Structure 1
Amino acid sequence: MHHRTDDGRAFRTLNILDEHSRECLAIRVKRKLNSTEVIDALTDLFILRGVPAYIRSDNGPEFIAEAVRDWIKAVGAKTAYIEPGSPWENGYCESFNGRMRDELLNGEIFYSLREAQIIIESWRKHYNTKRPHSALGYRPPAPEAIIPMDQRPIMH
């Protein structure tokens, strides 16, 4: 997705969703997104969550780049690109993007890229743990993703 900071400078978000649970696994906020950013974001997720069987994406240049395709193959996953001009093939992503735009981006003025990163990450956590989703029986995708303070292990 594209948006701008208050000074008119563009930034993009790389939104990574779990197709089954609808959990937003990560949102990367950068001035520019390229194949290296995609690989870095997916590497972080694969370390934490394991390698999925498929990676579904649109046909943006950062996703169809040879480096990304080769890397996905090397880690043992497969690509599942949607047909060009067929956004309904990843409707859950389009729905997420619309919610993010309506609930967050259209109502915020970001004075810096860092501020955008912090506010967007806070919204992502709310989206995953508090916001009800009709496709999930009006439950949030990952209510257990954030452990309440009183239930966290104590570090000595």
Structure 2
Amino acid sequence: MSRTPFPTGPWICVASDLLGPLPNGEFLLVFIDYYSRYIEFKFLRSITSTTIIDVMKEIFCRPGFPKYLRTDNGRQYISSEFKEYCKVCGIEQIRTPPYWPQANGEVENINKLLVKRLKIAYQHKNNYKEEIQKFVLMYNVTPHSSTGSAPTQLMFNRLIRDKMPGIQDLGAEVLDSAERDQDCVAKQKGKESADKKRGAKEIDIGVGDKVLIKNVVFPHKLTPNFDPTEYDVLERKGNIAIVSRDGRRLTRNISHLKKIPIRSPSDSSSDPGSFPQVQVTPPEELTNTEQSEHQPAQTAGMEPPSLDQGLKLKLIKKGGMWEPASKSEGDGGSSDVSADVNDWFIISLLCSSSVTRTIDGPASPVRK
């Protein structure tokens, strides 16, 4: 009895076979790697060469094309279409002798395990597709008796996670590597370039702040950029913040939030909506200095008139023009002036303590 030599690497020599039909009329297409014993499968309604080629394209897009593909002599595998596909993809097909399934023993052994699992699912009326998925996952993470390692360990150089806790779940320290350093440098360059292009700035938003949420739907052109409804920040993780109002919780990126500044009583004067307060000083509180600025300059040798006395000004009509009367004319009592009372006007300017009248220069003639 000859044995198949052990391949030099994963997914170089692969075996394939069809299992079925199942009670619902479906078939199970199985692939197994001779190096790692890793399994891939697919449920099929049709088992034509075209259908199998489509499934192989779907499976081979992940681990790649194998170098050798061992199959039986089913009509799906010996068709010209299947041969052409293997030729185009650089796959060398190895067919077993007729009526000698032992030549493809690796995949036949897997079929026995799958049939056993399907029988158990059928007897317990379980979903056989889910049962096959559970079995394949368990098989791929369990160390194989021939290799001593799990199929996924040999296939991907790592052990994939399942429900059973493993060493990778203990939080082992991850050592730095050149790939990690290169990734950090590339991400930092991308961040700096994007922040500079968008003019990004740090947003000072923390738990307990009151914020406004940016509108993402604009019913009309006059819709404001931010909704005036205030929300409270409950939690922040990185660039993600959770806000709440009246029991309603929303999750938003902090770039869609606008912080409402806290106003103190001293900031009320800086409110753009308030009017400035102007202090008005009553006239009676004017200082002597302020009053002196509004009083007329005093002539040397003359005393300013008292504010308590009335200032009388007499006008006389001369040549059709009204002019201030001199002292002799005002005291002499001219017959023309005394005869016609209407020709005299006496203007009294009574100055109180709250009003000050200033007369600059001679009085202007008044036309009647």
Task: Tell me the TM-score normalised to structure 2 length.
Answer: 0.35
CA contact (8 A) 2:118 2:128 kept: no
Pairing 1:5-154 to 2, within 5 Å after superposition: 5=23, 9-24=24-39, 26-102=40-116, 104-109=117-122, 115-130=127-142, 132-137=143-148, 139-143=149-153, 144=158, 146-147=160-161
* TM-superposed deviation, 1:19: 1.6
CA contact (8 A) 1:3 1:105 kept: no
More helix by share: 1
Evaluate the alpha carbon distance shift between residue 60 and residue 127 of structure 1 in structure 2; reply closer, same or farther with a 3 A threshold: same
- Per-residue CA shift, 1:38-85, capped at 9, x if unaligned? 212221232211211111111112222221111010111111111111
Could you list the runs of 5+ residues in structure 2 that have no partner in the other structure? 1-18, 164-168, 172-239, 241-368
* TM-superposed deviation, 1:10: 2.0
- Per-residue CA shift, 1:92-143, capped at 9, x if unaligned? 11111111112x111012979xx4333322221111113x432223x43225
Indicate the structure (1 or 2) with the bigger Cα radius of gyration.
2
* TM-superposed deviation, 1:31: 2.6
More strand by share: 2
Whole-Å separation in 2 of the counterparts to 1:96 and 1:83: 19
Q: Which has the higher contact order (CA 8 A, sep 6+)?
A: 1
- Per-residue CA shift, 1:5-58, capped at 9, x if unaligned? 4xxx3221000111221110x211123322122212221232211211111111
Corresponding letter in the other structure for 1:21: S
CA contact (8 A) 1:29 1:116 kept: no
- Paired residues, number: 143
CA contact (8 A) 2:137 2:162 kept: no
CA contact (8 A) 2:118 2:131 kept: no
Could you list the runs of 5+ residues in structure 1 that have no partner in the other structure? none
Evaluate the alpha carbon distance shift between residue 145 and residue 58 of structure 1 in structure 2; reply closer, same or farther with a 3 A threshold: farther
Whole-Å separation in 2 of the counterparts to 1:16 and 1:121: 14
Evaluate the alpha carbon distance shift between residue 52 and residue 60 of structure 1 in structure 2; reply closer, same or farther with a 3 A threshold: same
Fraction of identical pairs, as percent: 26
